[in-house]
Amino acid sequence: MIARYTREEMGRVWNDANRFARWLDVELAATETLAEAGQVPKDAAAAIRAHAKVDVARIQEIESRVKHDVIAFTMAVGESIGDPAAARWLHYGLTSNDVVDTAQALLVRDASRLIERGLVLFSEVLDVRAHEFRHTPQIGRTHGIHAEPITFGLKIANWFAENQRNIARFRDAAAQMAVGKISGAVGNASHLGPEIEERICEKLGLKAVPVASQVIQRDRHAHYLSSLALIAATLEKIALEIRHLQRTEVREVEEPFGGEQRGSSAMPHKRNPVTSEQICGLARLVRSNLIAAFENVALWHERDISHSSVERVILPDSTILVDYMLAKMSTIVSNMRVFPERMQRNLELTHGLVYSGQLLQDLVEKGMPHDDAYKAVQENAMAAWEADSNFRERVAGDARITKYLDAKALTHTFDLQRQLRYVDAVFDRVFGAHPAGEKSAAGSAGKN
């Protein structure tokens, strides 16, 4: 991934030096475990631990000749050990993918910790802002058209709940990736045995897969990429909403705009939602990587290499992008400008039309046949819409309606707070009932 979208910590996870360092971690764990089992001389294992080093330039130079990265790695590390008698025990009993797949699990684990931290921090931001605007009225829109009143906090609570589900899904997917295999070229564990495999993986903080071919099966990786794609989709959903709410005609929300930021080279007045647009674009990349991950599941027999080149791209790129997108979206939501007065003005833009559903319900409750009530309400609503006139005044003058609802009843029908009376109850379901001002446990994954 290009540097523009790579944050420092995540970039370090995937650089060549760290990748080879994780390969060495696997080699060292294997050699020391075998030494403990009496299959490798203990002095050789100690020498390997003391002297084995990663030299990226040397590995790459050897690979340019031998055309095999793991062989190049073992040759370069063997040189660094210095003692040929000790170095010959490096990579003993292992095949390339015992090292590569197990080390990849370590890399994914490191990347996952950063992403999970970003997800939890994002939940905390959403929690704060949802409660800040819990009772800020806003018009709810369906098909882009005014529907019925909500609050802006309720909209953010929806984002929070979805992010909590993302945390749960991601934790499960990351756990399924935290496995290693040291079972040889076809998965039969014939060289070292299952017990040694389990002990090597345990030393690395991993579980040994119950069964493998030459590789860990790629359904795990597809599941992991799927969880990343869902996170990206959630971030895109929020970004798209902010873009719509920032439109000049709406202007209910605005993403942060820096003091020296410029929106257009030609139009100095422009304040564009460029970061939200960037997130929407990057989500497409993460989603596209999911297709490749699913296609990696099917390999020839016990293994071919078609998945390898793909994973060199999609695993680093997807984790790097999601890490970047989470950080950007947390900044947007934390610092976005919100305009409650504009929300109220937009809510009132249709002169009461948004209470038509409540009016229909109240008429039916008072005894008016449903179809008659629907026709009466719709006729008045369409007339008010076309003439840009006051819906409440129209229905107050319609004898079909006033036969069932007097002036006091109509006031109740057109009461905004009646529409919003269950917002607190919904919040309690999302965040858990807790005293006002007390921070909820945003990092827990159980709420949905």
Which sequence positions are flagged as catalytic? 143, 264
> Can you tell me the distance from the alpha carbon of 370 to that of 365, in angstroms, rounded to the nearest whole number?
9
Extract the tokens encoding 65: 């000749």
Strand 179-180 versus strand 207-208 pairing type: parallel
> Can you tell me the distance from the alpha carbon of 445 to that of 448, in angstroms, rounded to the nearest whole number?
8
Q: What element of type H or E holds 147?
A: strand 145-151
> Can you tell me the distance from the alpha carbon of 297 to that of 379, in angstroms, rounded to the nearest whole number?
58
Query: What are the b/e assignments for 7-17, b being 16+ CB within 10 Å?
Result: beebbebbeee
C-alpha to C-alpha distances, 64 to 24, 57, 256, 305, nearest whole angstrom: 20, 11, 48, 18
For helices 69-81 and 16-36, the axis angle rounded to 10 degrees is 70
Using H for helix, E for strand and C for coil, what is the string for 184-197?
A: CCCCCCCCCCHHHH
- Residues shown for the chain: 448
Residues 6+ apart with CB under 8 A from 224: 108, 173, 174, 176, 177, 293
> Can you tell me the distance from the alpha carbon of 330 to that of 178, in angstroms, rounded to the nearest whole number?
27
Hey, which bits of 217-317 come out as E strands?
A: 253-254
> Taking the CB of residue 274, how many other CB atoms lie within 10 A of it?
14
